[in-house]
Structure 1
Protein backbone atom coordinates (compact mmCIF):
# COMPACT_ATOMS: atom_id res chain seq x y z
CA UNK A 1 0.00 0.00 0.00
CA UNK A 2 1.31 3.42 -0.97
CA UNK A 3 0.52 6.92 0.27
CA UNK A 4 -0.98 7.71 -3.14
CA UNK A 5 -3.43 4.80 -2.77
CA UNK A 6 -4.53 6.11 0.63
CA UNK A 7 -4.90 9.62 -0.77
CA UNK A 8 -6.90 8.38 -3.76
CA UNK A 9 -9.27 6.41 -1.53
CA UNK A 10 -9.91 9.46 0.64
CA UNK A 11 -10.69 11.58 -2.41
CA UNK A 12 -13.12 8.98 -3.75
CA UNK A 13 -15.19 9.03 -0.57
CA UNK A 14 -13.58 6.38 1.61
CA UNK A 15 -11.21 7.61 4.28
CA UNK A 16 -8.91 4.70 5.14
CA UNK A 17 -8.11 4.50 8.83
CA UNK A 18 -4.59 3.09 9.33
CA UNK A 19 -5.52 1.13 12.46
CA UNK A 20 -8.95 -0.17 11.44
CA UNK A 21 -7.86 -0.76 7.87
CA UNK A 22 -4.97 -2.99 8.88
CA UNK A 23 -7.04 -4.71 11.57
CA UNK A 24 -9.86 -5.56 9.17
CA UNK A 25 -7.46 -6.84 6.54
CA UNK A 26 -5.79 -9.13 9.10
CA UNK A 27 -9.11 -10.10 10.74
CA UNK A 28 -10.79 -11.22 7.52
CA UNK A 29 -7.64 -13.00 6.36
CA UNK A 30 -7.51 -14.92 9.65
CA UNK A 31 -11.26 -15.53 9.95
CA UNK A 32 -12.00 -16.12 6.28
CA UNK A 33 -12.13 -19.87 6.54
CA UNK A 34 -14.39 -19.79 9.59
CA UNK A 35 -16.80 -17.30 8.00
CA UNK A 36 -16.84 -19.25 4.75
CA UNK A 37 -17.70 -22.42 6.64
CA UNK A 38 -20.98 -20.80 7.69
CA UNK A 39 -21.75 -19.12 4.34
CA UNK A 40 -20.38 -21.69 1.86
CA UNK A 41 -23.65 -23.46 1.07
CA UNK A 42 -25.49 -20.24 0.22
CA UNK A 43 -22.58 -18.71 -1.66
CA UNK A 44 -22.19 -21.80 -3.80
CA UNK A 45 -25.86 -21.53 -4.75
CA UNK A 46 -26.01 -17.81 -5.56
CA UNK A 47 -22.54 -17.59 -7.17
CA UNK A 48 -23.01 -20.68 -9.34
CA UNK A 49 -22.66 -20.23 -13.09
CA UNK A 50 -20.98 -16.83 -13.05
CA UNK A 51 -19.60 -15.57 -16.38
CA UNK A 52 -15.92 -15.11 -17.13
CA UNK A 53 -15.96 -11.42 -16.19
CA UNK A 54 -17.36 -10.47 -12.79
CA UNK A 55 -17.59 -7.15 -10.98
CA UNK A 56 -17.36 -7.53 -7.21
CA UNK A 57 -18.24 -4.85 -4.68
CA UNK A 58 -15.92 -4.79 -1.69
CA UNK A 59 -13.69 -7.69 -2.65
CA UNK A 60 -11.73 -7.29 0.59
CA UNK A 61 -8.98 -9.87 0.97
CA UNK A 62 -10.50 -12.19 -1.64
CA UNK A 63 -13.07 -14.25 0.23
CA UNK A 64 -15.05 -14.94 -2.94
CA UNK A 65 -12.31 -15.66 -5.47
CA UNK A 66 -12.83 -19.39 -4.87
CA UNK A 67 -16.34 -19.10 -6.32
CA UNK A 68 -15.28 -17.58 -9.64
CA UNK A 69 -14.75 -19.56 -12.85
CA UNK A 70 -11.27 -20.73 -13.75
CA UNK A 71 -9.17 -17.91 -15.27
CA UNK A 72 -12.01 -15.44 -14.77
CA UNK A 73 -11.49 -11.69 -14.89
CA UNK A 74 -12.38 -9.99 -11.61
CA UNK A 75 -13.02 -6.27 -11.52
CA UNK A 76 -12.75 -5.53 -7.80
CA UNK A 77 -14.39 -2.39 -6.45
CA UNK A 78 -12.31 -2.06 -3.29
CA UNK A 79 -11.53 1.40 -1.86
CA UNK A 80 -9.68 0.12 1.21
CA UNK A 81 -5.99 0.07 0.19
CA UNK A 82 -5.09 -2.10 3.19
CA UNK A 83 -6.95 -4.99 1.53
CA UNK A 84 -5.18 -4.83 -1.81
CA UNK A 85 -2.02 -6.86 -1.18
CA UNK A 86 -3.91 -9.84 0.25
CA UNK A 87 -6.53 -9.57 -2.52
CA UNK A 88 -3.81 -9.69 -5.19
CA UNK A 89 -2.26 -12.78 -3.60
CA UNK A 90 -5.65 -14.53 -3.33
CA UNK A 91 -6.47 -13.78 -6.97
CA UNK A 92 -3.04 -15.01 -8.10
CA UNK A 93 -3.51 -18.30 -6.24
CA UNK A 94 -6.78 -18.83 -8.12
CA UNK A 95 -5.28 -17.84 -11.47
CA UNK A 96 -7.61 -14.86 -11.88
CA UNK A 97 -7.09 -11.76 -13.98
CA UNK A 98 -7.54 -9.08 -11.32
CA UNK A 99 -8.26 -5.40 -11.83
CA UNK A 100 -8.64 -3.32 -8.67
CA UNK A 101 -10.65 -0.11 -8.83
CA UNK A 102 -10.19 1.88 -5.62
CA UNK A 103 -13.52 3.72 -5.77
CA UNK A 104 -16.58 3.53 -3.57
CA UNK A 105 -19.53 1.42 -4.70
CA UNK A 106 -21.76 4.50 -4.83
CA UNK A 107 -19.64 5.69 -7.79
CA UNK A 108 -18.55 2.68 -9.81
CA UNK A 109 -16.28 3.88 -12.59
CA UNK A 110 -17.66 1.54 -15.26
CA UNK A 111 -19.87 2.41 -18.26
CA UNK A 112 -23.62 1.85 -18.32
CA UNK A 113 -24.72 -1.69 -19.21
CA UNK A 114 -21.13 -2.94 -19.32
CA UNK A 115 -21.20 -6.20 -17.35
CA UNK A 116 -23.24 -9.38 -17.02
CA UNK A 117 -22.63 -10.03 -13.32
CA UNK A 118 -22.08 -8.12 -10.10
CA UNK A 119 -21.56 -9.91 -6.80
CA UNK A 120 -21.04 -8.92 -3.19
CA UNK A 121 -20.94 -10.44 0.27
CA UNK A 122 -20.86 -8.70 3.65
CA UNK A 123 -20.55 -5.35 1.89
CA UNK A 124 -23.93 -3.57 1.76
CA UNK A 125 -23.79 -3.34 5.56
CA UNK A 126 -20.74 -1.05 5.31
CA UNK A 127 -21.50 1.29 2.41
CA UNK A 128 -22.59 4.85 3.12
CA UNK A 129 -25.72 4.69 0.93
CA UNK A 130 -27.05 1.21 0.06
CA UNK A 131 -29.76 2.61 -2.23
CA UNK A 132 -27.15 4.52 -4.27
CA UNK A 133 -25.02 1.38 -4.50
CA UNK A 134 -27.95 -0.69 -5.75
CA UNK A 135 -28.74 2.00 -8.33
CA UNK A 136 -25.13 1.77 -9.52
CA UNK A 137 -25.40 -2.02 -9.74
CA UNK A 138 -28.45 -1.68 -11.97
CA UNK A 139 -26.69 0.97 -14.06
CA UNK A 140 -23.60 -1.13 -14.87
CA UNK A 141 -25.52 -4.38 -15.48
CA UNK A 142 -26.64 -5.26 -18.97
CA UNK A 143 -30.35 -6.10 -19.40
CA UNK A 144 -30.77 -9.62 -18.07
CA UNK A 145 -27.56 -9.35 -16.04
CA UNK A 146 -27.45 -10.72 -12.51
CA UNK A 147 -26.62 -9.29 -9.11
CA UNK A 148 -25.80 -12.06 -6.64
CA UNK A 149 -25.40 -11.29 -2.95
CA UNK A 150 -24.88 -12.79 0.52
CA UNK A 151 -25.29 -10.28 3.34
CA UNK A 152 -25.93 -10.09 7.06
CA UNK A 153 -29.02 -8.10 8.04
CA UNK A 154 -31.16 -6.74 10.82
CA UNK A 155 -32.79 -9.31 13.11
CA UNK A 156 -36.51 -9.49 13.78
CA UNK A 157 -37.85 -7.02 16.31
CA UNK A 158 -38.27 -8.11 19.95
CA UNK A 159 -35.61 -10.84 19.70
CA UNK A 160 -32.39 -11.18 21.74
CA UNK A 161 -30.33 -10.77 18.58
CA UNK A 162 -32.07 -7.51 17.74
CA UNK A 163 -31.39 -6.20 21.23
CA UNK A 164 -27.70 -7.09 20.95
CA UNK A 165 -27.48 -5.45 17.52
CA UNK A 166 -28.90 -2.24 18.94
CA UNK A 167 -26.68 -2.33 22.03
CA UNK A 168 -23.47 -2.90 20.06
CA UNK A 169 -24.32 -0.52 17.23
CA UNK A 170 -21.59 2.07 17.83
CA UNK A 171 -18.58 -0.11 18.76
CA UNK A 172 -19.41 -2.62 16.02
CA UNK A 173 -19.54 0.13 13.40
CA UNK A 174 -16.27 1.67 14.61
CA UNK A 175 -14.33 -1.59 14.60
CA UNK A 176 -15.70 -2.83 11.26
CA UNK A 177 -15.43 0.45 9.36
CA UNK A 178 -19.04 1.57 9.37
CA UNK A 179 -20.65 -1.86 9.32
CA UNK A 180 -24.29 -1.73 10.43
CA UNK A 181 -26.14 -4.76 11.78
CA UNK A 182 -29.43 -2.89 11.53
CA UNK A 183 -30.10 -2.68 7.80
CA UNK A 184 -33.13 -4.26 6.16
CA UNK A 185 -31.21 -5.10 3.01
CA UNK A 186 -33.81 -7.55 1.73
CA UNK A 187 -36.33 -4.73 1.43
CA UNK A 188 -33.72 -2.41 -0.09
CA UNK A 189 -32.90 -4.92 -2.83
CA UNK A 190 -36.57 -5.74 -3.42
CA UNK A 191 -37.37 -2.06 -3.97
CA UNK A 192 -34.28 -1.22 -6.07
CA UNK A 193 -36.02 -1.65 -9.43
CA UNK A 194 -34.71 -5.05 -10.56
CA UNK A 195 -36.87 -7.08 -12.94
CA UNK A 196 -36.90 -9.98 -10.48
CA UNK A 197 -35.43 -10.73 -7.06
CA UNK A 198 -35.06 -14.11 -5.37
CA UNK A 199 -33.97 -13.82 -1.73
CA UNK A 200 -33.63 -16.42 0.99
CA UNK A 201 -33.39 -15.52 4.66
CA UNK A 202 -31.45 -17.75 7.01
CA UNK A 203 -29.50 -17.71 10.24
CA UNK A 204 -26.01 -18.89 11.03
CA UNK A 205 -24.85 -19.92 14.50
CA UNK A 206 -21.66 -18.11 15.46
CA UNK A 207 -20.37 -16.39 18.62
CA UNK A 208 -20.80 -13.06 16.79
CA UNK A 209 -24.49 -12.74 17.66
CA UNK A 210 -25.21 -9.45 15.81
CA UNK A 211 -23.83 -11.06 12.63
CA UNK A 212 -26.03 -14.15 12.58
CA UNK A 213 -29.16 -13.15 10.56
CA UNK A 214 -28.43 -13.39 6.83
CA UNK A 215 -29.90 -13.19 3.35
CA UNK A 216 -28.63 -14.59 0.05
CA UNK A 217 -30.04 -14.35 -3.43
CA UNK A 218 -29.94 -13.07 -6.97
CA UNK A 219 -31.60 -10.08 -8.62
CA UNK A 220 -31.99 -9.83 -12.41
CA UNK A 221 -31.65 -6.48 -14.19
Structure 2
Protein backbone atom coordinates (compact mmCIF):
# COMPACT_ATOMS: atom_id res chain seq x y z
CA UNK A 1 0.00 0.00 0.00
CA UNK A 2 2.81 2.42 0.85
CA UNK A 3 4.34 1.82 -2.61
CA UNK A 4 1.03 2.70 -4.31
CA UNK A 5 0.76 5.87 -2.22
CA UNK A 6 4.33 6.85 -3.15
CA UNK A 7 3.71 6.28 -6.88
CA UNK A 8 0.51 8.33 -6.83
CA UNK A 9 2.24 11.13 -4.91
CA UNK A 10 5.03 11.10 -7.50
CA UNK A 11 2.58 11.34 -10.40
CA UNK A 12 0.86 14.31 -8.75
CA UNK A 13 4.23 15.94 -8.06
CA UNK A 14 5.14 15.72 -11.74
CA UNK A 15 1.79 17.19 -12.77
CA UNK A 16 2.21 20.02 -10.25
CA UNK A 17 5.93 20.55 -10.94
CA UNK A 18 5.56 24.15 -12.21
CA UNK A 19 3.75 25.15 -9.01
CA UNK A 20 6.33 23.37 -6.87
CA UNK A 21 9.07 25.34 -8.64
CA UNK A 22 7.21 28.60 -8.08
CA UNK A 23 6.78 27.62 -4.42
CA UNK A 24 10.50 26.89 -4.11
CA UNK A 25 11.25 30.35 -5.52
CA UNK A 26 8.78 31.94 -3.09
CA UNK A 27 6.52 33.25 -5.86
CA UNK A 28 3.62 30.83 -5.36
CA UNK A 29 3.49 31.59 -1.63
CA UNK A 30 2.84 35.26 -2.38
CA UNK A 31 -0.17 34.29 -4.49
CA UNK A 32 -1.51 31.89 -1.85
CA UNK A 33 -1.07 34.37 1.01
CA UNK A 34 -3.33 36.82 -0.82
CA UNK A 35 -5.85 34.37 -2.25
CA UNK A 36 -6.17 31.90 0.62
CA UNK A 37 -7.96 34.21 3.12
CA UNK A 38 -10.63 34.95 0.50
CA UNK A 39 -11.05 31.29 -0.45
CA UNK A 40 -11.02 30.25 3.21
CA UNK A 41 -13.73 32.77 4.04
CA UNK A 42 -15.96 31.21 1.36
CA UNK A 43 -15.32 27.74 2.75
CA UNK A 44 -16.06 28.90 6.29
CA UNK A 45 -19.59 29.99 5.37
CA UNK A 46 -20.65 26.40 4.73
CA UNK A 47 -18.35 24.94 7.40
CA UNK A 48 -19.74 27.14 10.16
CA UNK A 49 -23.31 26.25 9.25
CA UNK A 50 -22.73 22.53 9.69
CA UNK A 51 -20.46 22.98 12.73
CA UNK A 52 -22.59 25.54 14.59
CA UNK A 53 -24.04 23.07 17.10
CA UNK A 54 -20.60 21.63 17.86
CA UNK A 55 -19.18 25.12 18.37
CA UNK A 56 -22.08 26.25 20.53
CA UNK A 57 -21.69 23.20 22.78
CA UNK A 58 -17.91 23.66 23.00
CA UNK A 59 -17.93 27.36 23.83
CA UNK A 60 -20.89 27.41 26.20
CA UNK A 61 -18.67 27.21 29.30
CA UNK A 62 -16.15 29.90 28.28
CA UNK A 63 -17.34 32.20 31.07
CA UNK A 64 -16.38 29.58 33.65
CA UNK A 65 -12.74 30.47 33.01
CA UNK A 66 -12.99 34.20 33.73
CA UNK A 67 -10.33 35.29 36.22
CA UNK A 68 -10.72 37.13 39.49
CA UNK A 69 -11.80 40.30 37.64
CA UNK A 70 -14.79 38.37 36.22
CA UNK A 71 -13.89 39.85 32.81
CA UNK A 72 -12.91 37.07 30.41
CA UNK A 73 -9.65 37.79 28.58
CA UNK A 74 -9.59 35.75 25.38
CA UNK A 75 -7.02 35.37 22.61
CA UNK A 76 -8.11 33.80 19.34
CA UNK A 77 -5.20 32.57 17.25
CA UNK A 78 -5.86 32.11 13.55
CA UNK A 79 -9.02 34.21 13.89
CA UNK A 80 -9.96 33.96 10.18
CA UNK A 81 -13.22 35.79 9.45
CA UNK A 82 -14.26 36.08 13.11
CA UNK A 83 -16.86 33.35 12.74
CA UNK A 84 -16.41 32.34 16.39
CA UNK A 85 -17.16 35.79 17.79
CA UNK A 86 -20.87 35.14 18.18
CA UNK A 87 -20.14 32.27 20.57
CA UNK A 88 -18.01 34.38 22.92
CA UNK A 89 -19.73 35.67 26.08
CA UNK A 90 -20.90 39.25 26.57
CA UNK A 91 -18.25 41.79 27.59
CA UNK A 92 -15.47 39.33 26.78
CA UNK A 93 -12.18 41.09 25.93
CA UNK A 94 -10.94 39.64 22.63
CA UNK A 95 -7.51 39.87 21.05
CA UNK A 96 -7.11 38.43 17.55
CA UNK A 97 -3.88 37.01 16.18
CA UNK A 98 -2.96 35.75 12.72
CA UNK A 99 0.30 35.38 10.85
CA UNK A 100 -1.35 36.59 7.62
CA UNK A 101 -2.03 40.36 7.69
CA UNK A 102 -4.52 39.93 4.84
CA UNK A 103 -6.92 38.27 7.30
CA UNK A 104 -7.58 41.54 9.11
CA UNK A 105 -9.70 42.89 6.27
CA UNK A 106 -12.01 39.87 6.52
CA UNK A 107 -12.97 40.67 10.12
CA UNK A 108 -15.04 43.74 9.26
CA UNK A 109 -18.46 42.08 9.07
CA UNK A 110 -17.96 39.99 12.22
CA UNK A 111 -16.66 42.98 14.16
CA UNK A 112 -19.69 45.04 13.16
CA UNK A 113 -22.01 42.26 14.33
CA UNK A 114 -20.20 41.72 17.64
CA UNK A 115 -21.01 44.75 19.77
CA UNK A 116 -21.38 42.39 22.75
CA UNK A 117 -17.57 42.05 22.80
CA UNK A 118 -14.65 44.34 23.61
CA UNK A 119 -11.82 44.14 21.07
CA UNK A 120 -8.26 44.74 22.20
CA UNK A 121 -6.60 44.57 18.80
CA UNK A 122 -5.24 42.45 15.95
CA UNK A 123 -1.70 41.03 16.17
CA UNK A 124 0.27 39.84 13.15
CA UNK A 125 2.42 37.06 14.56
CA UNK A 126 3.09 33.36 14.30
CA UNK A 127 1.20 31.18 16.76
CA UNK A 128 4.52 29.43 17.38
CA UNK A 129 6.04 32.63 18.80
CA UNK A 130 3.46 35.06 20.22
CA UNK A 131 6.06 37.42 21.62
CA UNK A 132 3.65 40.37 21.92
CA UNK A 133 1.42 38.48 24.36
CA UNK A 134 2.56 38.55 27.98
CA UNK A 135 2.92 35.51 30.22
CA UNK A 136 -0.26 34.48 32.09
CA UNK A 137 -2.19 37.35 30.50
CA UNK A 138 -5.15 35.38 29.11
CA UNK A 139 -7.95 33.34 30.63
CA UNK A 140 -8.75 31.50 27.39
CA UNK A 141 -7.00 30.78 24.10
CA UNK A 142 -9.22 29.70 21.18
CA UNK A 143 -7.78 27.83 18.23
CA UNK A 144 -9.96 26.46 15.40
CA UNK A 145 -8.67 25.08 12.09
CA UNK A 146 -5.20 26.48 12.69
CA UNK A 147 -2.60 23.92 13.69
CA UNK A 148 -3.12 21.95 10.47
CA UNK A 149 -1.06 24.67 8.76
CA UNK A 150 1.53 25.24 11.50
CA UNK A 151 4.81 23.30 11.17
CA UNK A 152 5.39 22.92 14.93
CA UNK A 153 2.17 22.14 16.79
CA UNK A 154 3.92 21.61 20.12
CA UNK A 155 5.40 25.11 19.88
CA UNK A 156 1.88 26.52 19.53
CA UNK A 157 0.67 24.58 22.56
CA UNK A 158 3.72 25.64 24.57
CA UNK A 159 2.98 29.28 23.74
CA UNK A 160 -0.69 28.83 24.63
CA UNK A 161 0.29 27.45 28.04
CA UNK A 162 2.73 30.33 28.57
CA UNK A 163 0.17 33.06 27.98
CA UNK A 164 -2.64 31.32 29.91
CA UNK A 165 -3.00 32.06 33.60
CA UNK A 166 -3.00 29.05 35.89
CA UNK A 167 -6.42 27.45 35.53
CA UNK A 168 -7.00 29.02 32.10
CA UNK A 169 -8.16 26.93 29.15
CA UNK A 170 -7.15 26.20 25.57
CA UNK A 171 -10.22 25.53 23.37
CA UNK A 172 -9.74 23.76 20.04
CA UNK A 173 -11.48 22.38 16.97
CA UNK A 174 -9.10 20.87 14.41
CA UNK A 175 -9.31 18.53 11.45
CA UNK A 176 -6.81 15.70 11.79
CA UNK A 177 -5.50 12.54 10.18
CA UNK A 178 -7.94 9.64 10.15
CA UNK A 179 -7.32 7.23 13.01
CA UNK A 180 -8.55 4.38 10.78
CA UNK A 181 -5.55 3.78 8.54
CA UNK A 182 -7.45 1.12 6.57
CA UNK A 183 -10.07 3.66 5.44
CA UNK A 184 -10.28 5.36 2.04
CA UNK A 185 -10.14 8.73 3.80
CA UNK A 186 -6.76 7.82 5.29
CA UNK A 187 -5.53 6.56 1.90
CA UNK A 188 -6.44 9.74 0.04
CA UNK A 189 -5.20 11.96 2.87
CA UNK A 190 -1.76 10.40 2.38
CA UNK A 191 -1.85 10.54 -1.43
CA UNK A 192 -3.11 14.10 -1.74
CA UNK A 193 -1.36 15.72 1.23
CA UNK A 194 1.64 17.25 -0.65
CA UNK A 195 -0.65 18.77 -3.29
CA UNK A 196 -3.22 19.83 -0.69
CA UNK A 197 -0.52 21.71 1.25
CA UNK A 198 0.51 23.52 -1.93
CA UNK A 199 -2.98 24.87 -2.58
CA UNK A 200 -4.13 25.41 1.02
CA UNK A 201 -1.33 27.49 2.51
CA UNK A 202 0.58 24.62 4.12
CA UNK A 203 -2.49 22.91 5.59
CA UNK A 204 -1.72 19.25 6.32
CA UNK A 205 -4.20 16.38 6.13
CA UNK A 206 -2.00 14.17 8.29
CA UNK A 207 -1.77 15.96 11.63
CA UNK A 208 -2.09 13.75 14.71
CA UNK A 209 -2.84 16.76 16.89
CA UNK A 210 -4.35 14.67 19.68
CA UNK A 211 -0.87 13.23 20.32
CA UNK A 212 0.62 16.73 20.56
CA UNK A 213 -2.06 17.70 23.09
CA UNK A 214 -1.11 14.67 25.19
CA UNK A 215 2.57 15.62 24.94
CA UNK A 216 1.83 19.23 25.97
CA UNK A 217 1.03 18.01 29.51
CA UNK A 218 -1.94 20.20 30.35
CA UNK A 219 -3.31 19.47 33.83
CA UNK A 220 -6.61 18.33 32.29
CA UNK A 221 -7.53 17.37 28.72
CA UNK A 222 -11.11 17.01 27.50
CA UNK A 223 -11.11 15.74 23.91
CA UNK A 224 -13.47 14.00 21.51
CA UNK A 225 -12.86 12.50 18.07
CA UNK A 226 -15.75 13.21 15.70
CA UNK A 227 -16.56 12.92 12.02
CA UNK A 228 -17.52 16.48 11.14
CA UNK A 229 -20.68 16.86 9.01
CA UNK A 230 -18.80 18.72 6.29
CA UNK A 231 -19.04 17.68 2.63
CA UNK A 232 -15.22 17.85 2.38
CA UNK A 233 -14.53 14.19 3.07
CA UNK A 234 -10.77 14.57 3.49
CA UNK A 235 -11.23 16.80 6.53
CA UNK A 236 -14.11 14.96 8.17
CA UNK A 237 -11.93 13.50 10.97
CA UNK A 238 -11.87 16.15 13.72
CA UNK A 239 -10.90 16.59 17.33
CA UNK A 240 -12.82 18.98 19.56
CA UNK A 241 -12.45 19.98 23.20
CA UNK A 242 -10.45 22.01 25.68
CA UNK A 243 -7.39 21.65 27.88
CA UNK A 244 -6.80 23.34 31.24
CA UNK A 245 -3.43 24.68 32.33
**So what's the TM-score if we normalise by structure 2?**
0.79
- Equivalent position to 2:109, from 89, 109, 112: 89
- Equivalent position to 1:72, from 85, 92, 99: 92
SS at match of 2:40: helix
- Equivalent position to 2:194, from 165, 170, 190: 170
CA distance in 1, matches of 2:133, 2:50: 32
Give the drift of 1:149: 0.5
* 2:78 matches 1:54: no
Q: How has the CA–CA distance of structure 1 residues 49 and 22 changed in structure 2, closer, same or farther, with 3 Å as cutoff?
A: same
CA distance in 2, matches of 1:89, 1:21: 21
SS at match of 1:135: helix
Give the drift of 1:98: 4.5
- In 2, are the aligned partners of 1:148 and 1:218 still within 8 Å (CA)? yes
Unaligned runs of 5+ in 2: 1-26, 64-71
Post-superposition Cα deviations, 1:20-47, rounded to whole Å, max 9, x if no partner, equal: 1232222222222210122222211221
Query: Match for residue 5 of structure 1?
Result: none
The root-mean-square deviation of aligned C-alpha atoms, in Å, is: 1.8
SS at match of 2:197: helix
Unaligned runs of 5+ in 1: 1-14
- Equivalent position to 1:200, from 189, 210, 224: 224
SS at match of 1:105: coil
- In 1, are the aligned partners of 2:136 and 2:162 still within 8 Å (CA)? yes
- In 1, are the aligned partners of 2:51 and 2:229 still within 8 Å (CA)? no
Give the drift of 1:53: 2.2
SS at match of 1:168: helix
**So what's the TM-score if we normalise by structure 1?**
0.87
Instruction: Number of aligned residue pairs: give it.
Output: 207
Query: Match for residue 48 of structure 2?
Result: 36
- In 2, are the aligned partners of 1:88 and 1:98 still within 8 Å (CA)? no
